[in-house]
């Protein structure tokens, strides 16, 4: 296969060489190579982001045309940077961009646990669950494998909208406290900010497993500061955060207006920087646009590297949905993938649509054809038009679990309330296709990462045919009865 790819790329370059200047060929094409050709997606590696930008703006159409001609297939072309290992560091094996994670790779990553409370592992990393305690989770439900290996650099889909963020994040992970400190990424919901945060943490742990890594959302950080003050344990809290080798805080914009939290973060920030530790932050907007953020903190946030991630392009969404479909055991036709890509604004909504299509297809034992996808999307549009109101779902959940609406939307984290709240999140997402932000606003102003965690938690139980299915059926019967 490798030889076939090399031979194909050699033919493409041979034709390009006759059509471009010698200078352009030497600078832009000589160090490129065809990495993979899977699922009608050609992945081309190039030496730098600058070269990729020039290739995309000037030669992408030509490259695509030649590849389609030589393969006889309609292809999408994705460019990715080939990041070289840093000198004096142990080289890492280069993984395929969209490849499956092997047992060997999985064993290098930190095992993590899920809980209904704060997402902390025993060593306080707080990483999103990707693997079980015994390695990759291989159990399956129908055709949906429970393999959570999509929060690494190897499985981050790269295009022109996120190339710079991707390359910068890999440099941060391999040069802790040196390359960009702090590293600040911002952009709208569903563009991959949280994915990159976890990818940094996973890569650092893989390379330096003895180092202290803390991933936390700003909501959780706020809760820890409040609890420390209330329980007179501020010294313990300070030691925990200020001894980190890598501190990652997601959705930092939610600390705006919280004076005590900002003060604690400011001092923690300074100490970590002085110690040579790394700080990585994500937000939905750049530092200077976060209202009610202390000027000294805004200045610190902007003192490293701030990178924005744009909404995914249509081509990237098409490639992503085809890749995710294959992960679930389906070869999705490119025309069906395009329809799904058109129906979702971001990658989270896109995967939600895909899961809905797969679930309905398996329920009635139907192939996933272009017409079937269109039919499912028509149903989604009808639901969004007002057949079920969000408050109807919240009311039904409250009645089913015998809790009050104020409790469901409130701050308490009793086990029963957490389960009811997460079921509400799941139903609002699956039944009405609301965004994480919309769901968070409906449930007391919770941030989108909390919503994402809750939806993923219930979705995992549903896929594993947990008893939660009976609860969900009962609530849906209330809604439709």
Residue 100: what pLDDT? 35
- The first and second tokens of residue 421, run together, are 């709240």
The helix/strand/coil state of 340 is helix
Enter the tokens of residue 422: 């997460």
What CATH number does the domain containing 19 carry? 3.30.300.180
Q: What is the pLDDT of residues 255-307, one digit of tens each?
A: 888 889 999 999 999 999 999 999 999 998 888 888 888 889 888 888 888 88
Q: Are 32 and 5 in contact (CB under 8 A)?
A: no
- Domain co-membership, 116 together with 225: yes
Q: Pick from 332, 365, 385: which residue ends a domain?
A: 385
What are the phi and psi torsion angles at 307 (to 5°)?
-125, 135
Place of tokens 């919280």: 258
Q: What are phi and psi of 213, to 5 degrees?
A: -120, 130
Q: How far from each other are the two terminal CA atoms of the chain, in whole angstroms?
A: 55
Average per-residue pLDDT for the chain: 77
Same domain, residue pair 39 and 186: no
Task: Let me know if residue 445 belongs to a domain.
Answer: yes
Last residue in a domain, options 308, 340, 372? 308
pLDDT of the residue at 443: 92
Q: Is residue 251 part of a domain?
A: yes
Residue 92 lies in a domain: no
Within-domain flag for 91: no
Dist CA 466 CA 352 (whole Å): 19
Q: Which helix (H) or strand (E) holds 145?
A: strand 144-145
Task: Tell me, yes or no, whether 409 and 346 share the same domain.
Answer: no
CATH code for position 163:
3.40.50.300
Backbone φ, ψ for residue 140 (5° rounding): -130, 155
Residue at token pair 């809290």: 237
Same domain, 71 and 191: no
Do residues 293 and 283 touch, judged by C-beta distance below 8 A? no
Residue owning tokens 């398996």 = 362
DSSP annotation string for 12-63 = HHHHHHTTS-HHHIIIIITT-EEEEEETTEEEEEES-HHHHHHHHHHTHHHH
CATH code of the domain containing 475: 1.10.1750.10
Q: What's CA 368's distance to the chain center, in Å? A: 25
Clarify whether residues 326 and 397 are in a common domain. Answer: no
Where are the alpha helices (H) located in 91-233, listed in sequence order?
Answer: 103-107, 163-174, 193-207, 218-230
Residue 96 domain flag: no
Q: Are residues 258 and 325 in the same domain?
A: no
Q: Which domain holds residue 416?
A: 388-480
Clarify whether residues 350 and 297 are in a common domain: no
Closest CA to 33 of 45, 47, 51: 45
CA distances from 278 to 85, 262, 454, 480 (A): 19, 18, 28, 51
What CATH number should be reported for the domain holding residue 366?
Answer: 1.10.8
Residue 178, SS3? coil
- Specify the pLDDT at position 481: 56
Amino acid 23: pLDDT: 65
Instruction: Please give the model's pTM, rounded to 2 decimal places.
Output: 0.52
pLDDT digits (tens, 9 = 90+) for 221-257: 888 898 899 899 999 999 999 999 999 998 899 888 8
* pLDDT recorded at residue 2: 52
Contacts with 168 (C-beta within 8 Å, 6 or more apart), sequence order: 179, 180, 183, 305, 307
Q: How many whole angstroms separate alpha carbon 405 and alpha carbon 388?
A: 18
Q: Do residue 393 and residue 380 come from a single domain?
A: no
Is 64 within 8 Å of 27 (Cβ atoms)? no
Number of structural domains found in the chain: 4
Question: So what's the pLDDT on residue 132?
Answer: 28
> For residues 223 and 126, is the Cβ–Cβ distance under 8 A?
no
Q: Are residues 380 and 399 in the same domain?
A: no
Q: Is residue 94 part of a domain?
A: no
Is residue 393 assigned to a domain? yes
In the listed set 254, 273, 308, which residue is the last one of a domain according to the structure? 308
| Residues 171 and 217 occupy one common structural domain | yes
Which residues of the chain fall below pLDDT 50?
A: 1, 83-149, 385
| Cα distance between residue 329 and residue 338, in whole Å | 18
Q: Could you tell me if 199 and 345 lie in one domain? A: no
pLDDT over 70 percentage in the chain: 81
Could you give the CA distance from residue 256 to residue 264 in angstroms, rounded to a whole number?
A: 13
In a domain, 97, yes or no: no
Question: Residues 236, 158: one domain?
Answer: yes
Please tell me the predicted confidence (pLDDT) of residue 421: 94
Angstrom distance (rounded) from CA 90 to CA 46: 22
């Amino acid at each position: 296969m490798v030889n076939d790819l090399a031979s194909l790329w050699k033919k493409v370059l041979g034709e390009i060489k006759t059509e471009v200047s010698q200078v352009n060929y030497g600078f832009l094409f000589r160090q490129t190579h065809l990495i993979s050709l899977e699922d009608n997606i050609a992945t081309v590696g190039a030496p730098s982001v600058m070269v990729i930008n020039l290739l995309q703006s000037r030669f992408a159409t030509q490259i695509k045309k030649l590849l389609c001609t030589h393969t006889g297939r309609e292809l999408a072309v994705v460019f990715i940077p080939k990041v070289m290992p840093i000198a004096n560091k142990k080289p890492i094996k280069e993984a395929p961009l969209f490849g499956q994670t092997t047992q060997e790779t999985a064993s290098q990553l930190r095992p993590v646990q899920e809980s209904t409370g704060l997402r902390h592992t025993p060593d306080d990393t707080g990483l999103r669950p990707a693997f079980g305690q015994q390695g990759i989770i291989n159990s399956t439900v129908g055709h949906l494998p429970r393999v959570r290996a999509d929060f690494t650099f190897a499985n981050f889909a790269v295009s022109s909208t996120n190339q710079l963020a991707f390359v910068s994040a890999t440099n941060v992970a391999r040069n802790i406290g040196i390359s960009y400190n702090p590293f600040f990424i911002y952009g709208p919901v569903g563009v991959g900010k949280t994915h990159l945060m976890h990818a940094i943490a996973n890569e650092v742990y893989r390379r330096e497993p003895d180092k202290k890594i803390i991933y936390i959302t700003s909501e959780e950080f706020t809760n820890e500061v409040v609890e420390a003050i209330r329980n007179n344990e501020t010294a313990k809290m300070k030691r925990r955060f200020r001894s980190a080798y890598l501190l990652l805080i997601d959705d930092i914009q939610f600390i705006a207006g919280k004076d005590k939290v900002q003060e604690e973060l400011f001092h923690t920030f300074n100490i970590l920087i002085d110690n040579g530790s790394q700080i990585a932050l994500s937000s939905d907007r750049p530092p200077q646009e976060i209202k009610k953020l202390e000027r000294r903190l805004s200045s610190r946030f902007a003192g490293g590297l701030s990178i924005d991630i744009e909404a995914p392009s249509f081509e990237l969404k098409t490639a992503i949905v085809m890749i995710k479909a294959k992960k679930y055991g389906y070869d999705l036709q490119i025309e069906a993938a395009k329809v799904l890509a058109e129906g979702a604004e971001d990658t989270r909504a896109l995967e939600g649509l895909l899961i809905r299509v797969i679930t309905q297809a398996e329920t009635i034992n139907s192939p996933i054809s272009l017409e079937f996808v269109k039919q499912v999307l028509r149903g989604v549009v009808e639901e969004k038009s007002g057949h079920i109101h969000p408050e109807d779902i919240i009311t039904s959940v409250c009645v089913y679990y015998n809790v009050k609406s104020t409790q469901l939307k409130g701050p308490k984290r009793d086990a029963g309330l957490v389960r009811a709240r997460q079921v509400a999140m799941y139903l609002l997402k699956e039944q009405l296709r609301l965004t994480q932000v919309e769901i968070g606003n409906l449930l007391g102003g919770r941030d989108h990462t909390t919503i994402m965690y809750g939806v993923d938690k219930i979705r995992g139980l549903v896929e594993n045919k947990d008893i939660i299915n009976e609860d969900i059926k009962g609530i849906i019967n209330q809604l439709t009865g």
